[in-house]
Structure 1
Amino acid sequence: MKMTRSTDYAIRVLIFAASHPTRLVQIQEVATHYDISKNHLMKIVHALSKFGLILSMQGRNGGFRLAKSPDTITLGEIVHLFEEVSYLESVSVTHEDRSLQNTRRAFDQAFSSFKEALSAYTLNDLMAPTRVDGNTT
């Protein structure tokens, strides 16, 4: 699976906001920090606000912040909101065609495991520094 740029940017926006919990973050800050187009980030921030992950304040001193605690926002939730996962959608499975039923079942299980694995990580987990051996420092 290849993650879209929108998902990547959404994760970056949320991590940046989580690492500045005491103030509003401005889109230009995130754009500069990650060297990303401000126009593209505006669309991402709008979507994150619509999904209820950030609160956005308009105006001269506006910006955004997380709408929820970073330990309640999971990587699985973010990916689910921005990625369209489809497989065997156009296949009409009949009772006679067991191989397609088995194939669909295999993909159902694989995607369920994928989502479950991503949902085990919160924004807090993504922000925590780790050593090469995988332990936190």
Structure 2
Amino acid sequence: MRLTMYTDFSLRILLYLGTKERSERSTIQEISDAYNISKNHLVKVAHELGKAGYIETVRGRGGGIRLAHAPEAINIGEVIRRMEDDFHLVECFNPAGNQCPITPVCGLKGVLGRALNAYLQVLDEYTLEDLLVNKNGLKMILQQQNA
């Protein structure tokens, strides 16, 4: 299973914001510089994270983004389900586009379906807080990137 870059960037934004105090705002530019990734990509991702209720966005002078909830209230499995556009591991997972002739007798879909469910179940066991176990080290590295 491979997550999209969109989901990867979503998790990176949340991790970055998780290193800050809840009242502290960060800019997309700061985050872009810290990870050395496109600001334009991050703007789209941050917009979606805001629509999903994971972050708060404030426009204008003194604006920025921050977590909308405490890190322990942000479930990683939920974030990934929300940010991924689909979980079509193979063609037969997409009923609208499935052209595979062996679908009616193939056991692969069931096995991959179980594996996907197990994958998501493990992710459901973690919150953003769990990923911030070395918060100080993470904060230090991200700040060095901005220097």
TM-score above 0.5: yes
Q: Distance in 2 between matches of 1:120 and 1:46?
A: 26
Aligned counterpart, 1:29? 30
**Is 1:17 aligned to residue 17 of structure 2?**
yes
Q: Distance in 1 between matches of 2:6 and 2:29?
A: 17
Alignment of 1:75-86 (within 5 A): 75-83=76-84, 84-86=86-88
Q: CA RMSD in A?
A: 2.2
Aligned counterpart, 2:39? 38
**CA offsets, 1:79-129, max 9 Å, x none?**
11222202412269xxxx4x33x4433232221111001111111111112
**Aligned residues, how many?**
126
Bigger RCO (CA 8 Å, 6+ sep): 2
Query: Among the aligned pairs, what percent are the same residue?
Result: 33
Aligned counterpart, 2:7? 7
- In the alignment, structure 1 segments of 5+ residues that lack a partner are 131-137
Q: Which runs of 4+ in 1 moved over 3 A?
A: none
Alignment of 1:1-137 (within 5 A): 1-20=1-20, 21-83=22-84, 84-86=86-88, 87=90, 88=92, 89=94, 90=98, 97=104, 99-100=105-106, 102-129=107-134
Tell me the TM-score normalised to structure 1 length. Answer: 0.81
Q: Distance in 2 between matches of 1:107 and 1:91?
A: 18
Aligned counterpart, 2:138? none
- In the alignment, structure 2 segments of 5+ residues that lack a partner are 136-147
